[in-house]
Chains A and B, each alone.
Chain A
């Protein structure tokens, strides 16, 4: 969505800090959305993002409470502060949505993502890949004579970094789960 160009004076008497002074700053937020595990609920959430033109950087979903039929959708999204506020309000309007948490603003949180890397190479490259994998605490979950499959768990940044390192060493394929996140404490 575009910048709204609202004149500064229009909220100069605000009692709330409603508008960021950097209106154009794109922020990345991680949202945890607790939903009823019923047919179509994921389509409603995704349809909201596509229909209103919001970004999804990653999305994970799974049932977290079998008895309570509750699923948790973790969405990494980005936008201006106003857009982020809208996304949360719009999510809250979906009938089977129980709760929307903005983990980015609700205090410290931990984010983890699982990824699999297939790296093929021989000789020195193969040894180097294994050494770096060790540094990143990656597990070897499969191997052939000329390839490894590593499992890396960590923050998205760590996985990005690992992927950069593997690229010259014969990186073949990556699979990532998207972010799962919880608030701390």
Chain B
């Protein structure tokens, strides 16, 4: 399709041609022509947020829960700078986003004009790629290329900066088919390396699959093949925070999440394994703990679409660059062709070792009849919602780790959390994006009160569009994770880690016209949760929980996987000075 139109109209046309039906944004001077075009059409639904950071997180929630790229439209200057946290978050967690920013007219760039910022300069390190479009005739192809770059290979956020005069001027529109890009990342893994991994699998005595967000980013087929692989080989499987749901939590071979607050059995298996198969994870420091004691006796294979992830932190023996689904398909093919062999005798012994670790019951906590333990709140939430069509988002902190530990995810794309960047304020806007994508589903944001306040203005968005998101706030009146670290590391000097002057969350909900629920008694909890679930509209659930509960199990910084702290263990002096610098 080739026709003449204004740059602003091209933006809308390009979005339609890319199959976009949802945009999160906030208008301003430098994007008015685009907003004018949005006003005059019905193909794209625009959701007005209350802060640009909220727009980007909402788009992330939309993208993570659908597998499609999220689209954001904001103005120049502060509109763009407010989007930076969301862009960085999406870059760290490999979430496909296309962010469109307005810019001052080309002839004013560099003059410190009103609401001018060097947007491509500021966002260069926090996008996968970005463009400043200076000619309307380049706009359409740039937009189509932007979608291509955001979604192909390791996904990520991209940004297109569009000066106002480029939006006003007429140019030739090119359809997506005219788009040419040299950017075509390798998706098929090297078959020799795959065969080598199969050979290692056939003889491994203590294998483990360590999976990550890459499985989910690769698409539903990757999760399906992963399940097939686990069922066929009977290998134990653990996952990072980002990868939860790729293999079902109710699956027999599931060890639970690994890492700093991962399960004992998962971390011990990682430490003692003799073959580690990393599928779409990146040996993050929250996973590895002390590097020189990380799984010392294992052969390590690493499947990743990003060459730079391989050997970045941990040296691996079998590197495979490729897309998870493509590689798993070939892996299964080769493994079957070679006779479906595993070292089943040794595997039996390995499973009994794992069984012993499971008996530790690392998630056990001391129940209380007077106060609600945060773990108990999540156990009840899980029990009352697990059979529903449910999506969970979280903020960042203790509640996030407890949610990962106590909630079970049986499908991919059901769990949206800020992993790499650890962005407080992520969960609420993300839940809005998820609810927009899945209007009939139950969407719950498990939050802490401090994180939740960081983007609470989005209550306005939830109300305006009637999005029945449930804000399940575990309120301990503390920055719980900060407080926990201060307790363990800084002599119990709780510097600035309490939430003073908190709002009355029930009244706050009512001020927005939403429903507020307060619960402080464990015996009321089930009824209160049911009340939240049965309310057809946004709910702020203020769950007053034990104030000084610590999140366990825990690998203290600078320690190895087999040096975990358990809930009932003595915790004083567990972290040495060297560990304290590692956060």
Contacts and interface: CB of A to CB of B under 8 A. Distances in A.
Asked whether A and B interact, the reply is: yes
Give the interface residue-count category, chain B: 20 to 34
Interface stretch (B61-69, B124-132, B451-459, B523-531): B124-132
A4 B359 CA distance: 34
Contact of A93 (B182, B196, B308, B314): B308
Nearest to B130: A40
B312 A10 contact: no
Interface stretch (B27-35, B295-303, B327-335, B539-547): B295-303
A89 B308 contact: yes
Contacts of B125: 47, 51
Contact of B315 (A10, A44, A89, A90): A10
B574 interface: no
B294 A10 contact: yes
24 contacts: A5-B292, A6-B291, A6-B294, A6-B314, A7-B292, A9-B296, A9-B297, A10-B295, A10-B297, A10-B315, A11-B300, A11-B317, A13-B299, A13-B317, A16-B317, A39-B132, A40-B121, A47-B125, A85-B311, A89-B312, A90-B308, A93-B307, A96-B129, A98-B182
Interface of A: 4-7, 9-11, 13-16, 18-19, 39-40, 43-44, 47, 51, 82, 85-86, 89-90, 92-93, 95-96, 98
A6 B121 CA distance: 37
A98 B181 CA distance: 11
A90 B307 CA distance: 8
B316 interface: yes
B293 interface: yes
Contacts of A7: 292-293, 296
Please indicate which of the listed interface residues A6, A85, A98 has the most CB atoms of chain B within 10 Å of its own CB. A6
A9 B299 CA distance: 10
Contact of B124 (A13, A16, A40, A82): A40
A93 B129 CA distance: 10
Contacts, number: 75
A13 B297 CA distance: 9
Interface centre among B294, B311, B316, B319 (most CB of A within 10 A): B311
Contact of A86 (B128, B129, B297, B312): B312
Which one of B121, B125, B298, B318 has the highest number of Cβ atoms from chain A below 10 Å of its Cβ? B125
A95 B149 contact: yes
A98 B312 CA distance: 22
A18 B308 contact: no
B442 interface: no
A47 B129 CA distance: 13
B183 interface: yes
Contacts of A19: 315
Of A14, A19, A95, which is in contact with the most chain B CB atoms at under 10 Å from its CB? Answer: A95
B195 to A, nearest CB: 11
A14 B316 CA distance: 8
Contacts of A98: 182
Contacts of A85: 311
B120 A40 contact: yes
Interface of B: 120-121, 124-125, 128-129, 132, 149, 182-183, 196, 291-300, 306-308, 310-319
A15 B317 contact: yes
Given A10-B295, A95-B183, A98-B182, A18 B316 contact: yes
Contact of A95 (B121, B128, B196, B294): B128
A87 to B, nearest CB: 9
Given A10-B315, A15-B318, A18-B317, A86 B308 contact: yes
A92 B124 contact: no
B7 to A, nearest CB: 18
B291 A95 contact: no
A6 B315 contact: yes
A95 B296 CA distance: 36
Given A7-B296, A40-B124, A44-B124, 19 more contacts: A4-B313, A5-B291, A6-B292, A6-B315, A7-B292, A7-B293, A9-B296, A9-B297, A11-B315, A11-B317, A14-B299, A18-B316, A39-B132, A40-B132, A51-B125, A86-B312, A89-B310, A92-B308, A95-B129
Contacts of A4: 291-292, 313
A110 B166 CA distance: 46
A14 B297 CA distance: 12
Nearest to B290: A5
A6 B288 CA distance: 12
Contacts of A44: 124
B315 A18 contact: yes
A50 to B, nearest CB: 9
A90 B306 CA distance: 9
Nearest to A51: B125
Contacts of A15: 196, 317-318
A59 B423 CA distance: 36
A2 to B, nearest CB: 11
A58 to B, nearest CB: 23
Contacts of A51: 125
Nearest to B297: A9
B296 A43 contact: no
3 nearest CB pairs, A to B:
A89-B308, A95-B129, A5-B292
Contacts of B183: 95
B126 to A, nearest CB: 10
Contact of A14 (B295, B296, B317): B317
Contacts of A14: 299, 315, 317
Contacts of B293: 7
A16 B316 CA distance: 9
Nearest to A98: B182
A15 B183 CA distance: 31
B158 to A, nearest CB: 9
Contacts of A18: 311, 315-317
Contacts of A93: 306-308
A40 B132 CA distance: 10
A6 B293 CA distance: 7
Contacts of B292: 4-7
Contacts of A10: 294-298, 300, 314-315
Nearest to B274: A13
Contact of B121 (A11, A43, A90, A96): A43
Contact of A43 (B124, B295, B297, B310): B124
A47 to B, nearest CB: 6
Contacts of B317: 11, 13-16, 18
A47 B130 CA distance: 14
A57 B125 CA distance: 22
A9 B296 CA distance: 6
Residue in B183, B292, B294, B319 with the greatest tally of chain A CB atoms within 10 Å:
B292
Nearest to B275: A13
Contacts of A43: 121, 124
Contacts of B310: 89
B137 to A, nearest CB: 16
